[in-house]
Structures are given as structure tokens and as C-alpha cells.
């Protein structure tokens, strides 16, 4: 009997052959996935993980001249992300249905709109004479954090929804993750059934099915929706969305 795991291995080999040897893009429609594997496939948060593999780009700022260089580098990285998306969209468009093309077009508008906002924030940032290097770095990050949060918060939900229907959205996520990684942004791992004393990096969401009488589940994560995006260990670019158990005390 042919097992689903064997089919998955064959699909991955075929995907690698197409993409590496023939420079073609392998697109998988999610409707073809067996129902009992559907939930696991939809909720694969590991695809959204970004490893911490480089220092924060803001730490490069040690003078007015390096500030100018960092400004240009951030602009260039986002322009690269934009170009990658436009090229990718062009290559996969004939493999998308009408609804998915419309979704890609919305993503394109979001990316271009955020480029204007990001560049505007960078260009308008001015250094005051009284600021030392640490203050310059801190203020510049504070200004850009809003833009970076907006980019992630507007793109990740749209990509996540699309990935449930078509693997073509994975390519967008890879480019977005690479852009963020180039700036030194990474995702923080979260654990289910763990109690967190500090919630500054989390954004708990409302839940209709999270009540329990188990007192030990107070402030315990029931479900992870998105990971926190972190910079420099302590700076939270975007809070992680989670659902917490809600303990109902009887009597």
C-alpha cells in the first residue's frame, strides 16, 4: 500500500528536480491533499520561522556616515524584496486561478505602498546635534519599527491564508523572511503548554473555545497563531499572536 509519507517524498524529489535542474516552479494546489493530512499542512508555522543568523543592521550605526549607509542598505533590501516578488509573480501567474491572481495583486499593492512609507520615514529622519551614537541608533530604530511592524502585519496574514490553498505563496514568504533576516530580524520560538511570566512580546487573541477549570493552565498558551518578530534579543518588532487558556474558577 502506498503511504502518504512516500508520496510526499516523491513530490519533494520532483519539486527539487524541476526547480534545480529545469529552473521551473513547482506549484501545489492544496485541494489535492488528503483530508487527514489537511490540518497539519495548513498549520505548519515552521515555514514562518526566521533563524537569528546576523546582527541587527542598526548596530552598524556608529557615525552620521554609517547612518547614511544603513539608510541606503535598508532601502536597497526592500527594493530587492519588491523586485523578487514582481519577478516571482510574473513566473507563477499562469499557474494561479483568478482568485489567487487577485490576491497576488493585493499583495503587490501592499508591498509597493509600504515601500513609499518606508522610504519616506527614512528620508525624513533627522539627527539632532545633542544626540550621541546610541541615541541616533535608538531613535532611528524607533521610527522604523512602525514601518517594519506594518510590513509584517499586513503581509503575513494574507500569505498565511493563501498558503492554505496554493503553495505558490511559499515563494513570497521566503522573500519576505529573507528581507527581514537581512535586517537582523528573527522569530522567537514559543512553546505550547508553557507559562510565560512576561507577555510584552505576545498579543493574546480572543477565543470562544479556550475555557477550562484546570487552574494549572492559567496564562498557558493553548495555540500559537504567529511568532514574535525580534531584534537585538529585547526589541519586539511585532508581537506574536497567541490564544491563552482562560481559567474559569467555580464558586
Q: What are phi and psi of 18, to 5 degrees?
A: -65, -45
Q: What are phi and psi of 109, to 5 degrees?
A: -65, -40
User: What is the β-pairing status of strands 202-204 and 240-244?
Assistant: parallel
Reference 8, options 43, 32, 42; nearest CA is 32
Using CA atoms, how far residue 67 sits from 72, 97, 114, 131, 239, in Å, is 9, 44, 21, 13, 27
Q: CA-CA distance, 32 to 98, in Å (whole number)?
A: 18
> Residue 204 above 70 pLDDT?
yes
This prediction has a pTM of: 0.82
Instruction: Place 198 in a pLDDT band, splitting at 50, 70 and 90.
Output: confident
Least-confidence region, from 29-33, 66-70, 88-92, 113-117: 29-33
Interval 141-193: pLDDT, tens: 999 999 999 999 999 999 999 999 999 999 999 999 999 999 999 999 998 87
Quick check: 174 and 92 in contact, CB under 8 A? no
> Residue 123 above 80 pLDDT?
yes
Amino acid at each position: 500500500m502506498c503511504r502518504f509519507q512516500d508520496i510526499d517524498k516523491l513530490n519533494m524529489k520532483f519539486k527539487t528536480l524541476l526547480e534545480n535542474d529545469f529552473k521551473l516552479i513547482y506549484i501545489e494546489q492544496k485541494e489535492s491533499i488528503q483530508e487527514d493530512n489537511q490540518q497539519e499542512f495548513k498549520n505548519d508555522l515552521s515555514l514562518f520561522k526566521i533563524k537569528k543568523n546576523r546582527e541587527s543592521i542598526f548596530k552598524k550605526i556608529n557615525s552620521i556616515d554609517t547612518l547614511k549607509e544603513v539608510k541606503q542598505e535598508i532601502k536597497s533590501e526592500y527594493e530587492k524584496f519588491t523586485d523578487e516578488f514582481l519577478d516571482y509573480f510574473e513566473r507563477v501567474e499562469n499557474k494561479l486561478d483568478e482568485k489567487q491572481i487577485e490576491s497576488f495583486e493585493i499583495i503587490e499593492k501592499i508591498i509597493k505602498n509600504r515601500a513609499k512609507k518606508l522610504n519616506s520615514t527614512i528620508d525624513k529622519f533627522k539627527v539632532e546635534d545633542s544626540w550621541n551614537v546610541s541615541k541616533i541608533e535608538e531613535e532611528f530604530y524607533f521610527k522604523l519599527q512602525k514601518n517594519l511592524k506594518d510590513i509584517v502585519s499586513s503581509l503575513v496574514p494574507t500569505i498565511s491564508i493563501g498558503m492554505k490553498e496554493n503553495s505558490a505563496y511559499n515563494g513570497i514568504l521566503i522573500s519576505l523572511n529573507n528581507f527581514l533576516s537581512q535586517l537582523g530580524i528573527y522569530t522567537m520560538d514559543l512553546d505550547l503548554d508553557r507559562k510565560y511570566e512576561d507577555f510584552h512580546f505576545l498579543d493574546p487573541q480572543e477565543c470562544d473555545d479556550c475555557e477550562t477549570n484546570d487552574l494549572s493552565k492559567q496564562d498557558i498558551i493553548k495555540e500559537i497563531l504567529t511568532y514574535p518578530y525580534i531584534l537585538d534579543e529585547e526589541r519586539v518588532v511585532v508581537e506574536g499572536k497567541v490564544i491563552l487558556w482562560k481559567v474559569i474558577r467555580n464558586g
